[in-house]
A and B are shown apart, each in its own frame.
Chain A
Amino acid sequence: MSVQIWTFIFVFLSFSLYIGIAIWSRAKSTSEFYVAGAGVPPLANGMATAADWMSAASFISMAGLISFLGRDGTFYLMGWTGGYVLLALLLAPYLRKFGKFTVPDFIGDRYYSRSARLIAVFCAITISFVYVCGQMQGAGIVFSRFLEVDITTGVIIGMTIVFFYAVMGGMKGITYTQVAQYCVLIFAFMVPAIFISILMTGIPIPQLGFGAELTDAYGGGYLLDQLDGLSEQLGFATYTEGQRTTQDVFFITAALMFGTAGLPHVIIRFFTVPNVRDARRSAGFALIFIAILYTTAPAVAAFARTNLINTVNNAEYSAMPEWFSKWETTNLISFNDKNNDGRIQYLGDAERNELEVNQDIMVLANPEIAGLPNWVVALVAAGALAAALSTAAGLLLVISTSVAHDLL
């Protein structure tokens, strides 16, 4: 079966599941709509928080960014996870103890100020609105590549579905849909990572394969050493060495950490558990579920980079596999034969480099580059949609809560 048919099957099945869950667990009271009746078990809340927060950016783009940034990509990894420590220690328990519906509620009561509350509402809406655009763009890219519709149609399909279950299910419906979406997205991220790790190093755990020796078919030696060697040989920056200054990396990491701790759709998740202890626990569970993806991502980045270089560099353009031309039609890969030898020169030197690869396609194209079966490729598409839609739903709920509860 082709990738497209598999994608239809996975997307149809997973979307039916989400809508089914949303109908089954729809909100029946005000408190269920805003905070799921404060009755979500911490483990489920941890999963929902992980899906809520891991967006199209984490799933689709992050590993790709790291594979081009090398060690500098660290600020995404540490920044986006380190913020959870701040969230768990400094925010989550106190907000739950306060025990109302929204962050503007808290700000307004804590500082005895209606203007402070309005500013908080404004921030929540602005952040959520900007953020939801990115998610929809991610969903659009996935639809356009795998179902071969245009991006606008993809965005409309995604938006309709999210709107349907977010409005109907409220916080309660969203919570249990996000639990299902977490399962889909982590499965979709891990399966290709495990496949590729076995293929390249013989070790089924990608976190360990990252630091292991390659099999003979891939040239032997440690993965990271080979990648450093390849990078140097082709004039790219050495993968395991930083290019940015220490202060750049320091402050970008700090910004991402504080940003993570302050995301409105993540913070409101801590209102949904029964008590303060469970708020602390769900922050811990959330980080475990996030860490599964976040410790795999740098491994995927290194595998993908090595594979990409080995597959394309000095290969004949006419002999490139099918995925190459499919991505070329989306303009996310482009080849310009500057020296007319019919071969691809992929080099760090901009003058002679003939191949441009958009970093956003690394995760989506990775299973195809490694030659994995079609169903794995389709699974990644379903996972990417789960990541985008779960975050979009959480954000839409923040917007609707802010407008309906805090503003009106």
Chain B
Amino acid sequence: MSDSSAHAYWKSNIKIVMSLLVVWFIISFGCGILFVDALDTIRIGGFKLGFWIAQQGSIFVFVVLIFVYIHLMDKLDDRYNLESSKSESPGAESESELEDSQ
């Protein structure tokens, strides 16, 4: 990968990570903690909304966030033909590596 495309790759990578972390923060710290009392005024079935997000909903969102990340990063790696992310990467395999590091 050339320097400029490595730079562009890294920029897209940061953008993906940052936007997902914004959602992560809003759901967990925002809805689950800071605005939980306001959301509790809304009721869905037997749940108060804020209470539900804090105890269950946020966990579902966390799972979705990681899978969105997996999907977006796979696409990004493909766009930049980053084969190394798919192939068996070297390092931990070789015994000599271990000797070097000691």
**A interface residues with partner B (beta carbon < 8 Å):** 29-31, 34-35, 37-38, 66, 71, 73-74, 77-78, 81-82, 84-85, 88-90, 93, 96-101, 105, 207, 210-213, 222-225, 240-242, 246, 249-250, 253-254, 257, 271, 274-277, 280-281, 283-284, 287-288, 291, 294-295, 298, 405, 408
Query: Interface residues of B toward A: which range?
Result: 35 or more
In the complex, per-residue mask of B41-68: 1 if CB is within 8 Å of any chain A CB, else 0: 0001111100110111011101101110
Determine whether the beta carbon of A223 is less than 8 Å from that of B46.
yes
Residue of A35, A101, A240, A271 with highest tally of chain B CB at under 10 A = A240
Q: Give B68's nearest chain A residue, CB to CB.
A: A284
Q: Is the CB–CB distance between A240 and B45 below 8 Å? A: no
Kindly identify which residue among A38, A222, A288, A405 contacts B45, using a CB–CB cutoff of 8 Å: A222
A271/B55 contact (C-beta < 8 A), A222-B46, A277-B86, A287-B62 known: no
Q: In the complex where A74-B55, A88-B66 touch, is A98 in contact with B91 (Cβ < 8 A)? A: yes
A118 CB to closest chain B CB, in angstroms?
A: 14
- Given A99-B90, A240-B51, A277-B77 in contact, is the A84-B60 Cβ separation under 8 Å? no
Q: List 13 A-B contacts (CB under 8 A).
A: A29-B95, A30-B95, A31-B93, A35-B92, A71-B36, A74-B33, A77-B59, A78-B59, A85-B20, A240-B51, A253-B32, A287-B62, A298-B56
Minimum CB–CB distance for A52 against chain B, Å: 17
Interface string of B21-34 (1 = CB under 8 A from A): 10010001100111
Q: Number of residue pairs across A and B with beta carbons under 8 Å?
A: 158
Is B85 positioned at the interface, with any CB of A under 8 Å from its CB? yes
Q: Determine if A85 and B91 form an interchain contact, defined as CB atoms under 8 angstroms apart.
A: no
Decide if B101 is an interface residue (CB 8 Å cutoff). Answer: yes
Known A-B contacts A71-B51, A74-B54, A250-B34; A294 and B59 likewise in contact (beta carbons under 8 Å): yes
